[in-house]
Structure 1
Amino acid sequence: MYLKIHRIQGKGEIVAVCDRELLNRTLCHGDITIHVSEKFYGTEEAGEAEVALALKNAGNINLIGNKAVSVAIECGILPEGAYILIDGIPHAQIYQA
């Protein structure tokens, strides 16, 4: 997986995680198009433990991919089925207080 933490002054962090094989792909479903870009998801690879730790400490999370979404479900951060499918790929956005 690729992991990037965006730090936005005065607004906290956004943790972005995507499955490795999705980087630089464009996914479409109806009117929804997502480009899984290096700019947003980064180029630093991370294992499940590193991703889980980042997710547990995040206020805002953006996930795309089977593995990325599965880690969030396993951590108890994302309820099972609480995601949408874009081009058959799970995608979730989580906002925690």
Structure 2
Amino acid sequence: MIVSERQTDQGLLVTACDPDVLGETFEDGDVSITVSDEFYGGESRDEDAVVEALSRATVANLVGRDVVELAIEAGYVDEANVLEVDTTLHAQFLRL
């Protein structure tokens, strides 16, 4: 999985995606998600490292079936709040 971490004024922003969706655009009706290298590009990490990054995140943006399912399994995302966009999954969370 590809992960990036950025410190912002609002806290730590973590983006993560499956490698096969990086650079792709997914559309479903009015919803369009472009998984750009500028936003989602980062380092390749294993599942444990992804979960560790999510544990520190204030905000997370996730795209791809594997990374979203991992976030669900780890308890960071509720499956009911996941969007299916075209052939992929998208989820976000905000820790208050």
Query: Shorter-normalised TM-score: what interval?
Result: over 0.9
Partner of 1:96: 95
**After TM superposition, which residue ranges in structure 1, 4 or more long, deviate above 2 angstroms?**
none
Deviation at 1:7, TM superposition (A): 1.3
Q: How many residues align?
A: 96
Length-normalised TM-score, structure 1: 0.92
Partner of 1:22: 21
Partner of 2:60: 61
Length-normalised TM-score, structure 2: 0.93
Deviation at 1:93, TM superposition (A): 0.8
Deviations along 1:64-89, whole A, 9 cap, x unmatched? 11111111111111123320111131
Percent identical among aligned pairs is: 35
> Is the Cα contact below 8 Å between 2:5 and 2:14 reproduced in 1?
yes
Deviations along 1:46-76, whole A, 9 cap, x unmatched? 1100000000111101001111111111111
Tell me the C-alpha RMSD between the 2 structures. 1.1
> Is the Cα contact below 8 Å between 2:10 and 2:58 reproduced in 1?
no
Partner of 1:75: 74
Structure 2 gap segments, 5+ residues each: none
How far apart, CA to CA, are the structure 2 residues paired with 1:37 and 1:88?
A: 17
How far apart, CA to CA, are the structure 2 residues paired with 1:66 and 1:59?
A: 21
Deviation at 1:14, TM superposition (A): 1.0
Partner of 1:4: 4
How far apart, CA to CA, are the structure 1 residues paired with 2:91 and 2:47?
A: 17
Structure 1 gap segments, 5+ residues each: none
The letter for the 2-side match of 1:22 is V
The letter for the 2-side match of 1:54 is A
How far apart, CA to CA, are the structure 1 residues paired with 2:42 and 2:13?
A: 16
